[in-house]
A and B are shown apart, each in its own frame.
Chain A
Amino acid sequence: MEISGISQAIIQGLAFGGVFALITGGMTLFHNVTNHVNVAVGSLMILDMYIMLILQQALGLDAYIVALIALPILVLFALFMWYVTLKRCLHYDHLMLFQLFVAWILVIEFFCVIIWGSDFRVMTSFIALSKVPMGPLVMRTTQLIAFLVSMGVIGVLYWMITKTEFGCTIRATAYKPDIARLMGINVDRLQLVIFVLSIVMVGVAAGVLAPYFTFSPYSGLTLSLFGLIILVMGGFGSWEGTLVASLVIGLVYGISSFYIPNAMAILVPYFLFYLVLVFRPQGLFGVR
């Protein structure tokens, strides 16, 4: 019983880590082409879940279906963010942008609290209670879907970045935007495209997480902070590092929340983060 329990925790952790890989993958891409960190991803994810919730209440559809409808709405909101603030501010230094994103976190939080209140919410899906047997273990179908979809999207993105010309333009811009411009790369447009792509990844992450996740307007900040420590742990801008750090943080969180109460379990990834900072400050896969 004990052994299957811990295995269960590992599977849960991996599924959670996969979802983190999606949002931090988007953060990494955005950091590559703008040199800024979008710390509002967690709140955007929660916003997307609330959009899904309202759609579900109005239309009575399954969580996975409303996720697809919510995605373009989230992108519209992100475009609003882009044209109203981000586009004009990208040339400022990191701290300014950090404050801007924090401002967006607050705006989104307040907006959600005003409209939906601060209670915890859950969504319903026809497979919410179903389970998939995997050898001696059972896995919740929702978690299996979350893990597979995340890894699939990450795989496609990894292929895109390493093999396609579009990926080359991203990596060239990550090296030096001015040199990329000399190649005829429209860096300003690329930044917008990548921002939208990262938001789509947030939407997908929210879509696969929502069917088994309990959320309140304040969950966004926790998710963002996890995203931030994953980015630093992996080594800023490193794809491999981000993926590994996501799975590690997911695993550690999954296992620790099996052994200790949730309020304490949430501290364990931070302790791991502290260890990485002390012993490998450049991050797992970072250079320098």
Chain B
Amino acid sequence: MIKIENLNVNYGLVPVLRDISVEVCKGEIVAIVGANNAGKSTLLRAICGLVRSVSGSITVDGNELTTMPAHEIANLGIAMVPEGRHVFPNLSVEKNLLLGGHTPRARPYREANFEMVYSLFPVLKERRSQKADTLSGGEQQMLAVGRGLMAQPEFLLLDEPSLGLAPLLIRDQFQLLKRLNKQGMTILMSEQNVKVSLSLSSRGYVMLHGRIYLTGPSQELIKDERVTKAYLGLTE
């Protein structure tokens, strides 16, 4: 499981995450929701080792991540689908996926994972020799998710997976996440789209100004008025 305790992160001297404590157990789908600038992305980036914490701890199955370089964290089975997709534009679809399985942990399963990703997203197989920047936004998101799956992850982190996608594509993607979860994948995602993400997840955290403002089962949060207030900045 991922266990975050009293995490503090600064950008320069400005605190962006304050006293964050989050837990993600195996087999769960956990959603982190909140308005822009609430610190959701920073939290996910901190787990991946892309930003460093001032204090607090992040452990995954007993490994302390706060001092571990990002490429070693990737090798622990934590795959990240970054905000804005960030597929490698000059590389072919196939090479993007190849790099997804670059870690020593994922290498032995590469062939099988290629099969798996191509069967999940047949369109990627069709376009495997095309450069990634020639794909449509929806296809790029598929590639980003596929690249994450190539890493043979135990934890799949998604940063704003619905950003810039048409409603139909969002629905497809969330159905896919549900399916992956049923097969045993643990998922942690950050979303501005509260309704969709809370209806998919089992538990949720609501972030506000770099803190965890509310937490609980998603079914309860979805009805909670304070969630809407947190979005609109109507809190004290």
Contact = CB atoms under 8 A, between A and B. Distances in A.
Contacts of B80: 182
Interface residues of B, number: 28
Contact of B71 (A165, A168, A175, A184): A184
Q: Chain A's interface: helix, strand, loop or mixed, by majority?
A: helix
A186 B71 contact: yes
A221 to B, nearest CB: 33
A179 B82 contact: yes
Nearest to B90: A171
Interface string A178-214: 1111111111100000000000000000000000000
A98 B223 CA distance: 57
Identify the interface centre among B79, B95, B103: most chain A CB within 10 Å of its CB. B95
A183 B91 contact: no
A183 B69 contact: no
A185 B102 contact: yes
Interface residues of A, number: 18
B50 A171 contact: no
A183 B95 contact: no
A131 interface: no
Interface in A132-188: 165, 168-169, 171-172, 175-176, 178-188
A183 B104 CA distance: 11
Q: Which of A168, A172, A183 has the most CB of B within 10 A?
A: A183
B70 A175 contact: no
Contacts of A183: 71, 74, 99-100, 102-103, 147, 151
A168 B99 contact: yes
B91 A172 contact: yes
Given A168-B98, A168-B99, A169-B99, A182 B74 contact: yes
Contacts of A188: 69
Nearest to A165: B98
A184 B50 contact: no
Given A181-B70, A182-B50, A172 B89 contact: no
A184 B151 contact: yes
Contact of A171 (B48, B75, B88, B104): B88
Contact of A168 (B70, B91, B105, B147): B91
A222 to B, nearest CB: 33
B99 A175 contact: no
A183 B106 CA distance: 10
Interface string B51-90: 0000000000000000001111011000110100010111
A181 B50 contact: yes
Contacts of B39: none
B86 A179 contact: yes
Interface of A: 165, 168-169, 171-172, 175-176, 178-188
Interface of B: 48-50, 69-72, 74-75, 79-80, 82, 86, 88-91, 95, 98-100, 102-106, 147, 151
